[in-house]
């Protein structure tokens, strides 16, 4: 049976990565061209500026992790339930950078950040366990 578990991780990962790339351009604008850029630069290691950079970095990292996880989920012959859990947990990890943005711009509570961080961690552990549970006979990577 050909599985498509992981396809959403790759697609969503690419779209979220593109969004955080655009957000990176916004941060460059705020640092170099926006009115009041001196105040923005002065708060480099504190406050909203620091949080915005955290969101940008984690958004791209967690997007990349979703792309890698998705590829592995598509190619490795993993147990279906473990693969599904790893997939959904990795997608849930995107709540972390989105939660940071929610804190910075919407004043949302930190719960989304914690939930996303725990989710990507759980996805990593789940995928690792699924890979270890692969049997020797199913250890060949799917090529089609």
Task: Give which of 61, 56, 69, 84 is closest to 124, Cα–Cα.
Answer: 69
- For the cut 50, the answer to whether the pLDDT of residue 63 exceeds it is yes
Q: Cβ(74)–Cβ(5) under 8 Å?
A: yes
Stretch 82-90: mean pLDDT: 98
Confidence (pLDDT) at 1: 47
Given a cut of 50, whether residue 48 has pLDDT beyond it is yes
Residue 136 has pLDDT above 70, yes or no: no
Give the global pTM. 0.89
Q: Are 86 and 73 in contact (CB under 8 A)?
A: yes
Residues 6+ away with beta carbon under 8 Å from 143: none
| pLDDT of 74 strictly over 60 | yes
pLDDT tens, 51-62? 999 999 999 999
N- to C-terminal Cα distance for the chain? 12
């Amino acid at each position: 049976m050909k599985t498509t578990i992981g396809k959403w991780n790759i697609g969503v990962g690419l779209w979220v990565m593109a969004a955080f790339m655009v957000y990176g351009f916004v941060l460059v604008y705020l640092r170099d061209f926006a009115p009041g850029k001196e105040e923005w630069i002065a708060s480099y290691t504190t406050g909203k500026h620091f949080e915005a950079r955290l969101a940008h970095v984690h958004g791209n990292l967690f997007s990349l992790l979703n792309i890698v996880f998705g590829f592995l989920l598509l190619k490795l012959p993993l147990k279906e339930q473990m693969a599904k859990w790893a997939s959904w947990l990795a997608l849930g990890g995107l709540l972390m950078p989105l939660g940071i943005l929610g804190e910075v711009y919407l004043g949302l509570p930190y719960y989304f950040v914690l939930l996303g961080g725990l989710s990507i961690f759980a996805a990593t552990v789940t995928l690792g366990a699924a890979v270890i549970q692969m049997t020797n006979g199913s250890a060949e990577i799917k090529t089609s």
